[in-house]
Structure 1
Amino acid sequence: MSAVVASTIGLGVPVADAAPPTAAGCTDISVPVSLGDGPRTSHISGRYCTPAGHPGTTLQVLVPGATYDRSYWDFPGFGDRYSYVKYASRAGKATLAIDPIGVGKSSKPPGWQVSAPTAARTLHEVISAARTGRLGHRWDKIVLVGHSFGSLTAMLEAGTYHDVDGLLVSGASHAPGPGGILQIQSSVRPALSDPRTAKSVPAGDYTYLSVPGARAKAFYAPRDSDPAVVAADEASRVAGTIGVLATIPVFIPTTFGIKVPVLIANGRADKVFCAQGGGGSLTDCTNAQTLYRSERTFFPVADLSTYVLPGSGHSLNLALNNRAFFARALQWADAI
C-alpha cells in the first residue's frame, strides 16, 4: 500500500494525516472537514485498508448506521467472521471505513450541529480527498456503502454531490415501520446518562443520545444471530445526536436524481425497514423482486439492483449468514 502521508493545501491546512500502516495494509487516517462554508476545523477519522501490491482502482467508502462506529464494518473477534473489511481485503478490495461526524474518533461538535446534511457534506469532503489523491492514492472509482442511517447519509450524499460511481444501500428502505422505530425510540436517553457513552461525548451536551438495550430486539433476528455477537454489539454501542434524528427525512427527495448504479440489500426479517420484520414497514422484502418493486419508484433514473438476505435482521453484517451478503456486495461492486 502507498504510505498515507500528511499533505497541505492552501494556507497549510492539513488534508489527511495517518499513522504508519500495519502489516495488514491498513492505517488510521484523519481527513480535515468543514461543517459549513468556513475553514476545515473538524475531522473525519477512518480505517483505510488496501491490498498488498497494486491497490487497484476502486475504493469502497463504508458508512455505519446510527449508534455504530466504523467497527460495524470491521467487527472485532469471532475469527473475523463478521468483518466486511477483512472479507473485502482477502478478495483484494480496498476499503475506507469511517466514523461519521460526531461519532467515534471523529470530531464531536455540539450535537445540534450534527445533522443529516452535515453528515453528507463531511462525507463528500472525504470522497474528494480520495478522488484527488490526498489519501496517498488517486481512486478512479468510488463506491459508497452504507448501513441503516449510514445508508440514508450515503443516499443524501450521492444525490446531492454526484461524486460517486456506485451506491450500496443496506439495512434501509423508504418505508420504515412505526413499530420498529418505536422499539428504538423507547430506549433513547441522553448519552450522558448512559455509563457506556457518557465519557465519549462533549461535557454537558444533552443533544447526544444513546440507545441502550435496543439492539437485540430491533436489529437482530433470533434464528439468524449468535447471542455472543449480540452481547458484544450491545457493549460497543456509541452515541448519536438529536440533530441527526430531526433531519432524517431530508434524504428522500435526493434519491430521485441518483444516476449511478444502486444496490439495495435488506435482511428479510428487518424489523425497521421490511414488512416481514413485523414492525409495520410497507417495504416487501420477500425476495429481491418484491424489494425492487417497493423501491424502484424512488430511483427512477438509477440502474437499480436489489438483494434480500434470508432470515437476517437489520444488521446484515452481524447475521450468521452474512457471507452471502458480503459476496453479493463485492460481486455487484466489481460489475459496475
Structure 2
Amino acid sequence: MIRGLALTVVTALTASLAPTAAQASTPTTQCRQTQVPVQVTGTQEQLSATLCDPGDAGTVLVLFPGASYDSSYWDFPVRPRTYSQVRSLTQAGFATLALDPFGNADSSAPLSPRLNASVEAAALHQVVSALREGRVGRAYSRVVLVGHSLGSTIVALTAARYDGIDGVVLTGLLHRFDPVDTVALFTRGFAPAASDPKFADRGLDPGYLTTVPGARARFFNALTTEPDVLAAEELTRGVFPATDVPDAGVLIELLPTTGLIDVPVLLAVGEADRIMCGTPPTGTDCSSAATVRSAEAPWFSAAARLQVFVLPGAGHSLTTAPGTRQYQRAVIDWARSYVEADGGVR
C-alpha cells in the first residue's frame, strides 16, 4: 500500500513538472522559453531560460540557481502560489529570467574542464547585456541578479567584475560556513550525473555532478519541510560542473571580492541553514539579521548598502521553505526600495 501511494505521488509530481515554463503564468503575465547565446572560451554555447513578464516591467530579475538545481528552483511545481518566487515577483510587477545553468534542460553542456565560476560569470554578464539591449524579449532599464548558494558566488563575481547591474540578491551564501557539513556534502553527497538514470542520455562528462539519494536533506530543515516538497526536490534535481567550485571558493569565500560590488546588496539566509550557519568562528550565527550583518558587513563596501534577511526556521534552500512567502516579500520590498527608487544604473 505504501509503495503504491509513493508511486501515485511520484507519477502526479512528474506530470506536474511537464509544463514548468508556464507555472508562473497568470492572466497578466506571459512566460516563454528562450535561449541566450553566450561565448564560452571562444565557442558559442547557449543558456536556456524562462522569461516571464507582466507586460510593463522596467526591472528584470535574473535568477541563477545553486549546485544541482535548474530553473525550477525559482518556479517550484508544488503549490506555486506559495513556492514559486517567479510568480510572486511577476505579480509584484517585476519581470524574471530564470536560467538553466550549463548541463541543465536545453542549455549547452560544454566539457566541464572548460567551465569554472569565472567563466560562468562572464557568460552571465553576456545575459545581462542581452537583456539591456533587447535581445531577450524587450530592453529592460534595470537588471537585478539573484543567486542561490553556488549560484550566488557566480552572481557575486559577475557584479564585482562587470557593469550593467542595478542590484544583487545573494541567498544561501555567507563568508563563514560550517566546514564539517560542507565537506560531507561535497565528498558524500554528490556523484557523477552520468551514472544517474535521469541524466544517462545527456552525454555529460564525469565532471558534471548531481546529488545522491538522500543528500538533498542537507538543504532543508527536516522538522518543517513538507513531504511532497521533498519528493519534488528529488524529481527536479539538476547538475553542475564540479570545476565551478574551486575558484568560487577562493574568490568569494577567501578573497574580498564582494567588496568590489558597488550596487545595493540583499543577503538572505535560513536561520537553520546547516551549511552556512553554526557557531563562530566557523559557521555564522544566523539567529538574527543583526548577527548575520555583523559578520558579513566587513566583506562589503559602503556602496553595497548591505541589507540582511533571515528566514526563521528555514534551511539552506529558501524557495521551498514553509515560510518562503516572507522571503519573497523581503526581496520585493528591497527591490522597490533600493533598486527601483534609485532609478537604475547611472
Using structure 1 for the length normalisation, give the TM-score.
Answer: 0.87
> Corresponding residue for 1:12?
none
CA offsets 1:257-304 (integer angstroms, 9 cap, x no match): 11111010000000111117x9x8421211111010110011023210
> Corresponding residue for 2:99?
98
Shift of 1:194: 1.6
| Residue type at the aligned position of 1:141 | R
> Corresponding residue for 2:48?
45
CA offsets 1:93-126 (integer angstroms, 9 cap, x no match): 1111001233332110001112111111111000
> Corresponding residue for 2:232?
232
The separation in 2 between residues aligned to 1:69 and 1:94, in whole angstroms, is 18
1:42 match: secondary structure: strand
Q: Is the 8 A contact 2:190 2:215 kept in 1?
A: no
> Corresponding residue for 2:263?
260
The separation in 2 between residues aligned to 1:65 and 1:192, in whole angstroms, is 19
> Corresponding residue for 2:196?
194
Shift of 1:316: 0.5
Q: Is the 8 A contact 2:68 2:211 kept in 1?
A: yes
Q: Which has the higher contact order (CA 8 A, sep 6+)?
A: 2
Find out whether 1:29 has 2:34 as its counterpart.
Answer: yes
Percent identity of equivalent pairs: 38
> Corresponding residue for 2:129?
128
Shift of 1:189: 1.4
2:286 match: secondary structure: coil
Find out whether 1:157 has 2:158 as its counterpart.
Answer: yes
Q: Is the 8 A contact 1:266 1:307 kept in 2?
A: yes
Shift of 1:233: 0.2
Q: Is the 8 A contact 1:42 1:107 kept in 2?
A: yes
Normalized per residue, the structure richer in helix is 2
CA offsets 1:32-76 (integer angstroms, 9 cap, x no match): 10012x35x101111001104xx2211101000010001000011
Bigger shift: residues 225-234 or 23-32: 23-32
Q: Is the 8 A contact 1:168 1:263 kept in 2?
A: yes
The separation in 2 between residues aligned to 1:30 and 1:111, in whole angstroms, is 20
Unaligned regions of 5+ residues in structure 2, if any?
A: 1-21, 339-346
The separation in 2 between residues aligned to 1:201 and 1:184, in whole angstroms, is 25
| Residue type at the aligned position of 1:169 | L
1:125 match: secondary structure: helix
User: How many positions carry a matched residue from both structures?
Assistant: 309
The 5-angstrom pairing of residues 111-122 of structure 1 reads 111-122=112-123
| Residue type at the aligned position of 2:118 | P
Q: Is the 8 A contact 1:192 1:206 kept in 2?
A: yes
Shift of 1:82: 0.8
> Corresponding residue for 1:311?
313
The separation in 1 between residues aligned to 2:110 and 2:216, in whole angstroms, is 29
1:324 aligned to 310, 323, 326, which one? Answer: 326
Using structure 2 for the length normalisation, give the TM-score.
Answer: 0.84
The separation in 2 between residues aligned to 1:188 and 1:136, in whole angstroms, is 36
The separation in 2 between residues aligned to 1:164 and 1:78, in whole angstroms, is 31
What is the Cα-based RMSD across aligned positions, in Å? 2.0
C-alpha change, 1:251 and 1:67, in structure 2 (3 Å) is same
Q: Is the 8 A contact 1:197 1:210 kept in 2?
A: no
1:275 aligned to 278, 288, 313, which one? Answer: 278
The separation in 2 between residues aligned to 1:94 and 1:69, in whole angstroms, is 18
Q: Is the 8 A contact 1:191 1:206 kept in 2?
A: yes
